[in-house]
Amino acid sequence: MAEDTLTTAGIGNHGASRLPSVDIDSYNIELKDDEGFLGDRASKGAFQAILDNWRKPLKKNGDDPFGAKSSEEISKKKLDEILIGDDVEASALVHSAIEDFAKELAYVTTRFLKTKAWDKTEAIIVGGGFRQSRIGELAIARADIILKADGHKIRMIPIRFHPDEAGLIGCAHLAPSWIFEAHDSILAVDIGGTNIRCGVVETRQKKAADLSKAQVWKSELWRHADDEPTREGAVKKLANMLKDLIKQAETEGLKLAPFIGISCPGVIKDDGSIEKGAQNLPGNWESSKFNLPSSLIDAIPSIGAHDTAVLMHNDGVVQGLSEIPFMQDYKRWGILTIGTGLGNARFTMRNPREKTDKNEKKKG
């Protein structure tokens, strides 16, 4: 993180290190070794490179089961089908890539665990698009076994919500609880290097006050990488997507809170500017003259009869926040998001549930 001091969550305080349920010990750590950034060793591109290496000797003999297709062109769905298909050699090839990637993921995780910020971590959520596949699940499970074999008392847990929705649902945990007293839903934005996803999140607090039953009512996806817009064009498109969702929510009768939560790559400063890490977004989002939350408030000054409030945080942090209801048995836990890069965040629960010994029998 850019700063070591705690900041208290509140409307308008972006990138806060203290939120209603957790303290954020660190996020967006950039660890390096002799080969460069460690995160590059456990990214989607890293898996594709590993698969390529296993394909090379087969290509020489004309036995590559994937033919001339590049590893980047092979979808996760196709790889999942091959795992359980009749072509044993192709299945073995994918299993080999999974094993090597799991070793890399375990190594990178070990390096995080050695940092001061990640000391005493008890569990790690693994999110990102790679997780939403059988190959991703196997790689996570195998890395978990490797870490345990090396003596680490830690659990690696695939993120529970769909990765496409976790970044939206996590936005609900950015807001102070009082904002939901008269409302049942919020607007959420998940910004990535390729896509921007906007959605309406129903909090469903009557069914579960801890937001464990929160769900995405409706969402819209824009693949900005295909359109290559200017920064201003991207903000205008984002604002229009949100306005469209507001109209749909009003038509449906949802009680939309005057709040927009934003999940965004990079180190987020308390004024809503981005210090670093936004290099994959359209235009210069790290400019001192650019402030996304302010731009959205200008475009959408009110929602219903109330002034609009916006809170923005790092995308890895927000994905992790979606897990808060399910991590009550852990005091210290983290998240790694496997995508274009490797997002990361470490959390400490402010009021963890005390563990009980399941084997302890009640007296009397």
Which residues pair with residue 199 across a beta bridge? 188, 219
Q: Contact, 2 vs 267, CB < 8 A?
A: yes
Q: What is the pLDDT of residues 156-203, one digit of tens each?
A: 999 999 988 999 999 999 988 888 888 999 999 999 988 999 999 999
Pick the most confident of 81-95, 135-149, 276-290, 337-351: 135-149
Position 61 pLDDT exceeds 70: yes
H or E element in which residue 296 lies: helix 292-299
Q: What is the pLDDT of residues 300-313, one digit of tens each?
A: 999 998 999 999 99
Question: 26: pLDDT confidence band, cut at 50, 70 and 90?
Answer: very high
- The DSSP letter of residue 66 is T
Give whole-number Cα distances, 250 to 88, 102, 273, in Å. Answer: 53, 46, 31
Q: What angle do CA 171, 208, 141 make, to 5 degrees?
A: 65
**DSSP code string of 69-104:** --GGGS-HHHHHHHHTSS-HHHHHHHHHHHHHHHHH
Q: What is the pLDDT of residues 90-143, one digit of tens each?
A: 999 999 999 999 999 999 999 999 999 999 999 999 999 888 899 999 999 999
Give whole-number Cα distances, 158 to 213, 217, 323, in Å. Answer: 18, 23, 10
Question: 275: pLDDT confidence band, cut at 50, 70 and 90?
Answer: very high
118 residue type, one letter: W
Q: Nearest 10 degrees: CA dihedral of 225, 74, 219, 23?
A: -90
CA-to-CA distance for 335 and 117, rounded, in angstroms? 13
Walk me through the domains of the chain, giving residue ranges and CATH numbers.
32-158 (no CATH), 171-315 (3.30.420.40)
Q: What is the mean pLDDT of residues 254-269?
A: 95
Q: Which pLDDT score is estimated for 355? A: 57
